[in-house]
């Protein structure tokens, strides 16, 4: 069976022929589209390493069948920076030491971008921890991660205020 | 994963016509794709229902009765301000389940249809003692058999509020009370529901009376870590309080039985009585009175008892202004700024 889908990945349209409906979005990105920034931790929805943004929402790409996504907009860690300018969440992770080995980091950053867009947590550390609980960090960099999300939330809110003024 | 056919129907009629033995409905896929990876479930055909029109809306009638389309995501339902105001413990249960990423994708129908978490269901070659690890073993409603607990948080407050499931299938449309959706365990500890082959859930409904509990409603979930873990015990408690007395009570327990476990005896005991901690302990005692420990999980019975009593006390104190109250921990202070108390 062959299925063809069209995805917009990090702003670029891609026509993709799937020979098999079993392919997950995670495997498609890593194995077929040369975008290995998205990581595979558990492959079961339990760790968040594979988090990407689909149609504006953070999702686990390991549990998403690519065949279901025809027409979708996908943003991965590779699509976050603008040229050499890092995204505010990326900057905050560096400044606040939000990682050690870095394996979970792309997923943490994409999840934080999704969480901030949801507007659920604000800069309350308790709500940030709850909102980020779908991302496990084997190095336990949680303290820095929480500070980074808090910092990025504040900066993005300020930038928005500045834009509006 | 076994190969399968994949179809993406554009109407409910097309979806129903696509069904055949061996086919499975694909909602968000967060449960089904997981089980397909281990080989525990091997559908010959996946019918992706996420493109079906008209199933992603929440409709509220003037009297408060609410109809939730089957494809509404767990996140969108919990975040709907009107819904959370009318059914706060349902929103609280949804937000206590899974993670932000999973809730964005998981549908309400998929949530109530999710399979038990025991390894017996999840792995192709289950461990030789299939039902080891008492946390997922039912202590109530088993009829003396081994059974895994129903893992859904969402279904617990729904069953307390008399939710109804609307389905359509080869035999036409019908309704099933959520309380009757999950069947008692048979000889095999399988995940059987009252859905007939080829039946598709179109919506969940909450009756108008369910909104009458909004001022005193809580879902309390106890688990191995503060967030992103299934319940070891949980309770949904709702009270309608008039003149300092309990006019009507609802109580359902999670993670103790193969279905969300409503306790009518405890509700009857609470009705007409004054609010009192001893009364809540007595109601919780009644709720767990028939429980039988399996595989060393006597702790679950005591935990569920205390969780039920605590949830009733939290409901009596009043629904917090900001839901869900955080941290989502049973050790958090009970009262915050209360809107209704
Ligand atoms: C790591 C992890 C942690 C989790 N933690 C929790 C938790 O703490 N609490 C909790 O409650 N849940 C938890 N979950 C489970 C999660 O809530 C479910 O996976 C999700 O709700 C299922 O919804 P879905 O739309 O993805 O269902 P799917 O995976 O698409 O489907 C699940 C089942 O429902 C059937 N189905 C789907 N839609 C319909 C329909 N319209 N009519 C008839 N049948 C249908 C499917 O055929 C399948 O059998 C967790 C899951 C994961 C992976
Ligand atoms: S790899 Fe997807 S959640 Fe772990
Ligand atoms: S930084 Fe190593 S796993 Fe998170």
pLDDT average, residue stretch A1-8 = 87
Closest CA to B3 of B50, B29, B39: B39
DSSP state of B206: E
pLDDT higher than 60, residue B335:
no
Pick the ligand that lies closest to the CA of residue B16. 1
Give dist(CA B48, CA B52) in Å, integer: 9
Q: Which ligand 2 atom lies nearest to the CA of residue A46?
A: 3
- CATH fit for domain A3-79, picks 2.60.120.680, 3.10.20.30, 3.40.605.10, 3.90.1580.10: 3.10.20.30
Determine the distance in angstroms separating the CA of B273 from the nearest CA of chain A, rounded to an integer.
37
pLDDT higher than 60, residue B95:
yes
| Closest residue of chain A to B4, computed from CA coordinates | A21
| Closest residue of chain A to B96, computed from CA coordinates | A130
Could you report the per-residue pLDDT of B166-207, keeping only the tens digit for each? 999 999 999 999 999 999 877 555 558 999 999 999 999 999
CB B35 within 8 A of CB B122: yes
Q: Which of B7, B27, B100 to mutate to test the interface with A (most CBs of A within 10 A)?
A: B100
Which pLDDT score, from 0 to 100, does residue B315 have?
A: 95
- Residue entry with tokens 């303290």: A143
Q: Which of A50, A52, A57 to mutate to test the interface with B (most CBs of B within 10 A)?
A: A57
Give dist(CA B284, CA B251) in Å, integer: 9
- Residue entry with tokens 């929402």: A57
Could you report the per-residue pLDDT of A68-101, keeping only the tens digit for each? 999 999 999 999 999 999 999 999 999 999 999 9
pLDDT average, residue stretch B137-158 = 92
Chain region(s) in chain B for CATH 3.30.390.50: 213-317
Determine the distance in angstroms separating the CA of A165 from the nearest CA of chain B, rounded to an integer.
29
First to last CA, chain A: 54
Number of helices and strands (H, E) in chain B? 12, 12
Which pLDDT score, from 0 to 100, does residue B341 have?
A: 27
The fraction of chain B above a pLDDT of 70, given in percent, is 88
Determine the distance in angstroms separating the CA of B151 from the nearest CA of chain A, rounded to an integer.
15
pLDDT higher than 80, residue A43:
yes
Could you report the per-residue pLDDT of B8-51, keeping only the tens digit for each? 999 999 999 999 999 999 999 999 999 999 998 999 999 999 99
- Residues of A whose CB is below 8 A from B50: 68
Q: Which ligand 2 atom lies nearest to the CA of residue A40?
A: 1
- Residue entry with tokens 């606040």: A96
Which among B48, B104, B227 has CB closest to A59? B104
Give dist(CA B136, CA A132) in Å, integer: 25
Q: Which ligand 1 atom lies nearest to the CA of residue B152?
A: 11
DSSP B279-292: HHHHHHHHHTTT--
Q: The tokens of B65 are what?
A: 């009765």
Which pLDDT score, from 0 to 100, does residue B337 have?
A: 41
pLDDT higher than 80, residue B67:
yes
Q: Other CB atoms closer than 10 Å to residue B275's CB: what's the count?
A: 18
A63 inside 8 A of chain B by CB: yes
The fraction of chain B above a pLDDT of 90, given in percent, is 79
Chain region(s) in chain B for CATH 3.30.43.10: 1-53
Q: Which ligand 3 atom lies nearest to the CA of residue A140?
A: 4
Pick the ligand that lies closest to the CA of residue A49. 2
Chain B residues with a Cβ under 8 Å from any Cβ in chain A: 1, 3-6, 8, 26, 28-30, 33-34, 37, 46, 48, 50, 75, 79, 98-102, 104-105, 226-228, 326-328
Determine the distance in angstroms separating the CA of A161 from the nearest CA of chain B, rounded to an integer.
24
Domain range list for chain A = 3-79, 88-164
CA dihedral of residues B262, B264, B265, B269 (deg, nearest 10): 110
Which among B6, B37, B105 has CB closest to A59? B105
The fraction of chain A above a pLDDT of 90, given in percent, is 90
Which pLDDT score, from 0 to 100, does residue B144 have?
A: 82
Pocket of ligand 3 (CB under 6 A): A 99-105, 137-139, 141
Which pLDDT score, from 0 to 100, does residue B340 have?
A: 34
- Residue entry with tokens 């709907």: B80
What ipTM was assigned to the predicted interfaces of this complex? Answer: 0.97
| Closest residue of chain B to A1, computed from CA coordinates | B5
Q: SS3 of B105, please?
A: helix
Which pLDDT score, from 0 to 100, does residue B188 have?
A: 54
Determine the distance in angstroms separating the CA of A1 from the nearest CA of chain B, rounded to an integer.
8
Instruction: Indicate yes or no: CB of B5 within 8 angstroms of CB of A1.
Output: yes
CATH class label, B1-53: alpha beta
**Is the CB of A40 within 6 Å of ligand 2?**
yes
pLDDT class of B338 with cuts at 50, 70, 90: very low
Which pLDDT score, from 0 to 100, does residue B327 have?
A: 46
pLDDT class of B227 with cuts at 50, 70, 90: very high
CB B129 within 8 A of CB B110: no
SS (H, E, C) chain A: CCEEEEEEECCEEEEEEECCCCCEHHHHHHHHCCCCCCCCCCCCCCCCCCEEEECCEEEEHHHCEHHHHCCCEEECHHHCCECCECCHHHHHHHHCCCCCCCCCHHHHHHHHHHHHHHCCCCCCHHHHHHHCCCCCCCCCCHHHHHHHHHHHHHHHHHHHHHHHC
Pick the ligand that lies closest to the CA of residue A97. 3
The mean predicted confidence, pLDDT, of chain B is 90
CA of A108 to the centre of ligand 1 (A): 23
Residue scoring higher pLDDT (B124 or B149): B149
Instruction: Indicate yes or no: CB of A63 within 8 angstroms of CB of B33.
Output: yes
Structurally, what CATH architecture does the domain formed by A88-164 represent?
Answer: Orthogonal Bundle (1.10)
- Residues of B whose CB is below 8 A from A131: 100
- CATH fit for domain B213-317, picks 3.20.20.70, 3.30.390.50, 1.20.1250.20, 3.30.470.10: 3.30.390.50
pLDDT average, residue stretch B118-143 = 68
pLDDT class of B128 with cuts at 50, 70, 90: very low
pLDDT class of B326 with cuts at 50, 70, 90: low
Q: Which of A38, A45, A58 to mutate to test the interface with B (most CBs of B within 10 A)?
A: A45
Q: Which ligand 2 atom lies nearest to the CA of residue A42?
A: 4
pLDDT higher than 80, residue B101:
yes
């Amino acid at each position: 069976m062959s299925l063809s889908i069209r995805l917009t990945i990090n702003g670029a349209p891609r026509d993709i022929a799937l020979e098999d409906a079993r392919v997950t979005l995670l495997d498609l990105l890593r194995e077929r589209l040369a975008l290995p920034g998205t990581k595979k931790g558990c492959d079961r929805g339990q760790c968040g390493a594979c988090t990407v943004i689909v149609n504006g929402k953070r999702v686990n790409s390991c549990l998403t069948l690519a065949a279901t996504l025809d027409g979708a907009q996908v943003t991965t860690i590779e699509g976050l920076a603008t040229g050499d300018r890092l995204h505010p969440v990326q900057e905050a992770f560096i400044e606040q030491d939000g990682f050690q080995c870095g394996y979970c980091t792309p997923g943490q950053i994409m999840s934080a971008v999704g969480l901030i867009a949801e507007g659920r947590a604000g800069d309350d550390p308790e709500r940030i921890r709850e909102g980020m609980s779908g991302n496990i960090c084997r190095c336990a960099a949680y303290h820095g991660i929480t500070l980074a999300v808090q910092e990025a939330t504040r900066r993005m809110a300020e930038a928005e205020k500045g834009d509006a003024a | 994963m076994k190969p399968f056919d994949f179809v993406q129907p554009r109407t409910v009629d097309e979806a129903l016509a696509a069904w055949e033995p061996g086919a499975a409905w694909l909602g968000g896929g967060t449960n089904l794709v997981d089980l397909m990876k281990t080989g525990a479930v091997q559908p010959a055909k996946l019918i992706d229902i996420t493109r079906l029109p008209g199933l992603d809306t929440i409709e509220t009638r003037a009297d408060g009765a609410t109809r939730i389309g089957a494809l509404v995501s767990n996140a969108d339902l919990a975040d709907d301000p009107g819904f959370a105001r009318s059914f706060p413990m349902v929103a609280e249960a949804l937000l206590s389940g899974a993670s932000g990423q999973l809730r964005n994708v998981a549908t309400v129908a998929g949530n109530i249809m999710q399979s038990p978490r025991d390894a017996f269901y999840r792995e192709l070659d289950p461990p030789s003692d299939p039902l080891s690890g008492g946390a997922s073993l039912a202590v109530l409603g088993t009829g003396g058999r081994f059974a895994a607990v129903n893992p859904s948080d969402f279904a617990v407050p729904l069953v307390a509020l008399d939710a109804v499931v609307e389905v359509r299938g080869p035999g036409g449309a019908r309704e099933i009370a959520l309380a009757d959706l999950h069947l008692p365990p048979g000889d095999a500890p399988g995940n059987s529901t009252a859905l007939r082959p080829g039946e598709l859930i179109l919506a969940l409904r909450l009756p108008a009376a369910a909104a009458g509990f909004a001022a005193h409603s809580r879902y309390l979930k106890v688990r191995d870590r503060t967030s992103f873990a299934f319940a070891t015990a949980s309770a949904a408690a709702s009270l309608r309080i008039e003149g300092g007395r309990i006019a009507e009570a609802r109580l359902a327990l999670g993670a103790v039985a193969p279905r969300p476990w409503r306790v009518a005896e405890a509700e009857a005991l609470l009705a007409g009585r004054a609010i009192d901690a001893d009364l809540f302990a007595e109601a919780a005692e009644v709720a767990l009175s028939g429980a039988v420990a399996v595989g060393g999980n006597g702790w679950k019975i005591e935990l569920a008892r205390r969780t039920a009593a605590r949830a009733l006390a939290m409901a009596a104190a009043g629904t917090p202004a900001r839901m869900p109250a955080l941290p989502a921990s049973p050790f958090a202070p009970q009262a915050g700024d209360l809107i209704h108390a």
